[in-house]
Amino acid sequence: MLVARRIDEEAIALQRQGALPGYAPSKGQEAAQVGSAAALDPTRDFAFPTYRDLGAAVAMGVDLVGYLSTHLGTWHGGMYDPVASRFAPFNAVVGGPVTHAVGWAMGAKLDGTGGAAITYFGDGASSQGDVHEAMNFAGVYRLPVVFFCQNNGWAISVPTDRQVAGGSVAKRAEGYGIEGVRVDGNDVRAVYEATRQALRSGEPVVIEAMTYRMGPHSTSDDPGRYRSLAEEQAWAERDPLRRAARELTETELNEAEAHADEVTRQVREGLLALGDRPGEELFDFVYREPTTALLEQKRAWKEASDV
């Protein structure tokens, strides 16, 4: 959790310095992400993240330089192996990873591997039609997929009570004939246990982790325009890192700080050392068999770039 917090802070700093074009902070949601991802069995389960799930990537051991390279647009889906890490390329389409996870879960059920999918999305994304269709499909076919909603209170600048009818994403599960669980998203142990049980059930489950986005929606957002300082301060008292730190000794905390600082240094240096990818890759990985039009575009690009 501390590694995720430090890298999150570093990514914001890199964006302010012009090294990253944009970034979606995850401060405050570390317990929800780390606790849920830690419950996965990396030999058989698979995660489908959004653009705000750095903590899940850290917990699953994803190469973090490769992960953050997605923000640079240097590669299609990030420069890490999603199959080896069991962590799909993160999806910037609101609600996008939910249907992908359901498709994977259908395959897992047909294969009889016993694995389960977990898909991350926010309270705002829960209002997307894709999420409804995915939950309905999973309910009909009894697919092994955990719909993990991080209810962080805000769909960009719109509060949850203005865009989630009924006020609870977990309660919607009943309409699809599946189990719905609401958990304290700032309690990493509670999140881990709820996710572990859901994954091992072999059934579709909706988990609504109640947490808070302590930072802006993105580095181009100003949360001070739509929420109060009093609200932010109240949630700061419930910071998941401060909560988890109470269970550790001073020695353990010092070791965690030193480890997080070292990992952050390595990630920063690795990210800044990345060079431009070969321009040909803009064309080489569009289709399995390139079209005539694409080959013509590649030829024109090479002629222009050689001038």
The residues spanned by each domain of the chain are: 2-276
For residues 276 and 12, give the distance between their C-alpha atoms in angstroms, rounded to a whole number: 21
Tell whether the model's pLDDT for residue 242 goes beyond 70: yes
CA angle 81, 86, 89 (to 5 degrees): 60
Chosen CATH of 2-276 out of 1.20.1260.10, 3.40.50.970, 3.40.50.10310, 2.120.10.30: 3.40.50.970
Tell whether the model's pLDDT for residue 284 goes beyond 90: no
Largest CA distance in the chain: 64
Residue bearing tokens 């302010």:
16
3-state SS of 147-216? EEEEECCEECCEEHHHCCCCCCCHHHHHHHCCEEEEEECCCHHHHHHHHHHHHHHCCCEEEEEECCCCCC
Handedness of CA 27, 59, 254, 259 (dihedral sign): negative
- Average pLDDT for the chain: 94
Query: Given this model, what pLDDT does residue 72 score?
Result: 84
Query: Given this model, what pLDDT does residue 15 score?
Result: 94
Q: What is the pLDDT of residues 41-74, one digit of tens each?
A: 999 999 999 999 999 999 999 999 999 988 887 7
Return the bridge partners of 184, or none. 210
Residue bearing tokens 């109060």:
228
Query: Of 9-23, 69-83, 217-231, where does mean pLDDT reach its minimum?
Result: 69-83
Residue bearing tokens 């016993």:
114
Residue 78, both tokens: 């990030």
Query: Given this model, what pLDDT does residue 277 score?
Result: 82
Strands 205-210 and 117-122: unpaired
Pair 87, 42: CB distance under 8 Å:
no
Residue 42, both tokens: 């990396």
Question: Which of 52, 172, 217, 268 is flagged as catalytic?
Answer: 217
Query: Given this model, what pLDDT does residue 274 score?
Result: 87
For residues 246-266, average pLDDT: 96
The question of whether 80 is a catalytic residue gets the answer no
Question: Which of 16, 76, 189, 226 is flagged as catalytic?
Answer: 226
Strands 158-159 and 154-155: antiparallel
Question: Which of 6, 100, 213, 268 is flagged as catalytic?
Answer: 213
114: region left, alpha or beta (phi > 0 left; psi from -120 to 50 alpha)? left
Q: What is the pLDDT of residues 131-164, one digit of tens each?
A: 999 999 999 999 999 999 999 999 999 999 898 9
The question of whether 226 is a catalytic residue gets the answer yes
* Residue 251 binned pLDDT confidence (cut-offs 50, 70, 90): very high
Query: Given this model, what pLDDT does residue 76 score?
Result: 66
The residue type at 285: F
Tell whether the model's pLDDT for residue 176 goes beyond 90: yes
The question of whether 86 is a catalytic residue gets the answer no
Residue 291, both tokens: 């079209």
For residues 181-203, average pLDDT: 97
